Amino acid sequence: MPKILLHLLSFTLLTVPCLAQMKLSDDKKHISPLTREYVYPTRIIWSEGQVGRVENLLIAGDGQASLTNEKIVILKNGDKSTSSILLDFGKELSGSVELVTGMWGGGNTPRNVRIRLGESVSEAMSEIGEKGATNDHAMRDFKMQLPWLGKNQTGESGFRFVRIDFLDPNAELHLREVRAVFTYRDIPYLGSFKSSDERLNKIWDVGAYTVHLNMQDYLWDAIKRDRLVWVGDLHPEVATINTVFGYNEVVPKSLDLARDATALPGWMCGISTYSMWWIVLHHDWYMHHGDLAYLTEQKSYLQGLVKQIVNKVKDGKEQMDGTRFLDWPSSEDSVAVHAGLQAMTILALERAAAISEILKDMETKAICESTVKEMRKYVPDHHNSKQAAALLSLTGLMDADKAYHDVLKVGGAKNFSTFYGYYMLEAMAKAGKYQEAMDIISEYWGAMLDIGATTFWEDFNMDWLPNASRIDELVPAGKVDIHGDFGAYCYVGHRHSFCHGWASGPTVWLSEHILGIKLLKPGGREYKIEPHLGNLTYAEGTYPTKYGVIRVKHTRNKDGKIVSEIKAPKEVRIIK
């Protein structure tokens, strides 16, 4: 070996650390909690132009470019003609798309493509600005280059459908594979629900899956839009996590993010009720998991937040500033919003009083209790709002039976909402209307499944259904585009999120009221099992606790009596 090479080799060995030495120290590591899984298309929905052997894209591959051009799909463009394909991955996913290429002739020049991701077929086929189509929060419509004999990957979004347009004139694009890179937390489904009604079973599963997709680095509201931590929206999501997955670090991580990002006297997300939901969430989290050390970390912030809330109550009436908000469908009804805020303030202060007693903060507890006492002397008008009536009922400001008959029952599923529908169902249960609530679940949430949904939506309105097309098909002539033609407020048209964790309420409700598993004491130490089967012949399932899984099976015998089989960890007391 020439001396100069020996000298360079010696210098390199002396100055370049070995791989073990280059390894990052533990305090500098940022390790993702997410798993990557490759998912292949299940269906070719549409193609245009010269596309050869497109069915090969349905074959699962190995993700590796190869010198053999077997099973290659060829997209060929002329001078003015272009070629395109539209793929269906079978279910809503959070992640990216990876394209593996082959060897096209004419040199190794990269090829230009346009990628469009969609939660519906109509969204994947739309132009930016068309019926609300947007790149907000996640890039879902963009151009990119693909290498010769290689692969490239898009950014992440929430999607089920992918359209690929080959852009280069007088050229060929050889695709070996197109696959989704599905990113999710690989955690077991400890909770379960199964009954004699397969539609309810499917709804439970879809609610659980909807929240699972949103358990990313933080607990998001949605995987396309909004990929943010909205604290009020977390309440049904966290309830679903407690019901399906048990403890997961994404919850305290997200609650702390909201706290640390919101210096008092600010409101979380600018919304007074969202700071109130933060209090309720901490109470619920402690009840399920009993982590006193974590709850104690919230003491100082809770004390300041309680004083802030109490200072916005005058003569027993809430006068909250910031954005006055329950959910979007009720947002223009100021009378209903006031009623809901009155109830939410009471709920939050009662939960804060319970937390303060646990933390031995008797001063804060007394402030909460005296304010609630004054607030209960005033009952605002519900204004025939199902949102307001539900909260008034749940906080005892309105008789549960009256709330059901005068408001919640009227029109059935009409004027339900995906977020506050959970509290409407809870208010129906308080009135003893279990079968009626199951009917609403089947009609309202089930309707989304009937038109092709695999996750539950940011909003849904029964009035959208007449003459609506399915979301997994090209909109037929004369049909209504249920994604592009509807929506309101921040979710107009294709901007509408089709995977929103706040819509998962039925999953929690079915486990608590049909299986009848209700938490009684902090730390998951005591549960009451009281099933309400309605017209079901049986219902069975599991429920996670910090000590293990509770298993129940309720069967209606020939005499109509419900016979229950219950198994629980020895640390958990069960009251029947």
Q: How many domains, in total, are found in the chain?
A: 2
Contact 531, 518 (CB under 8 A): no
For residue 20, the tally of other CB atoms under 10 A from its CB is 6
For residue 46, being part of any structural domain is answered with yes
**357-405 pLDDT tens trace:** 999 999 999 999 999 999 999 999 999 999 999 999 999 999 999 999 9
Q: How far is residue 483's CA from residue 337's CA, in Å, rounded to a whole number?
A: 28
Cα angle 264, 265, 269 (rounded to 5 degrees) comes to: 80
For residue 410, being part of any structural domain is answered with yes
Residues 209 and 242 in one domain: yes
Residues 433 and 287 in one domain: yes
Residues 128 and 229 in one domain: no
pLDDT at position 13: 43
Which uninterrupted H or E stretch holds 112?
A: strand 111-118
pLDDT at position 1: 46
Output the CA–CA distances (angstroms, integers) from residue 464 to 108, 444, 460, 470, in the order listed.
50, 12, 8, 12
For residue 557, being part of any structural domain is answered with no
The CATH number of the domain holding residue 342 is: 1.50.10.10
The CATH number of the domain holding residue 59 is: 2.60.120.260
Phi, psi of 46 (to 5 degrees): -160, 150
Which residues, including other chains, have CB under 8 Å from residue 132's CB and lie 6 or more apart?
484, 487, 492, 493, 494, 495, 496
Last residue of a domain, one of 161, 183, 205: 183
**Residue 393, helix vs strand vs coil:** helix
For residue 481, being part of any structural domain is answered with no
For residue 121, being part of any structural domain is answered with yes
For residue 444, being part of any structural domain is answered with yes
Residues 406 and 285 in one domain: yes
Which tokens hold the place of 53?
């052997």
pLDDT at position 5: 40
Residues 130 and 177 in one domain: yes
Last residue of a domain, one of 131, 162, 183: 183
Q: Which domain holds residue 105?
A: 35-183
pLDDT at position 455: 98
Residues 290 and 425 in one domain: yes
The separation between the first and the last C-alpha atoms of the chain, rounded to the nearest angstrom, is: 85
Residues of the chain with pLDDT under 50: 1-16, 19-20
Which uninterrupted H or E stretch holds 161?
A: strand 157-166
Residues 130 and 226 in one domain: no
pLDDT at position 8: 39
For residue 550, being part of any structural domain is answered with no
Contact 398, 436 (CB under 8 A): no
Residues 170 and 210 in one domain: no
Residues 143 and 235 in one domain: no
pLDDT at position 28: 66
Q: How far is residue 200's CA from residue 208's CA, in Å, rounded to a whole number?
A: 12
Last residue of a domain, one of 153, 183, 213: 183
CA dihedral 513, 519, 520, 524 (to 10 degrees): 170
Residues 364 and 449 in one domain: yes
The secondary structure of 188-219 as a DSSP string is ----EEEES-HHHHHHHHHHHHHHHHHBSSSB
For residue 561, being part of any structural domain is answered with no
pLDDT at position 15: 46
Residues 141 and 245 in one domain: no
Q: How far is residue 171's CA from residue 108's CA, in Å, rounded to a whole number?
A: 12
Burial of 298 (0-12, 13-18, 19+ CB in 10 A): buried
Q: Of 252, 271, 251, which Cα lies nearest the Cα of 262?
A: 271
Single pTM value for the model: 0.94
For residue 558, the tally of other CB atoms under 10 A from its CB is 5
Which amino acid type is present at position 127?
Answer: E
Residues 281 and 409 in one domain: yes
pLDDT at position 26: 66
Q: How far is residue 230's CA from residue 217's CA, in Å, rounded to a whole number?
A: 14
pLDDT at position 2: 46
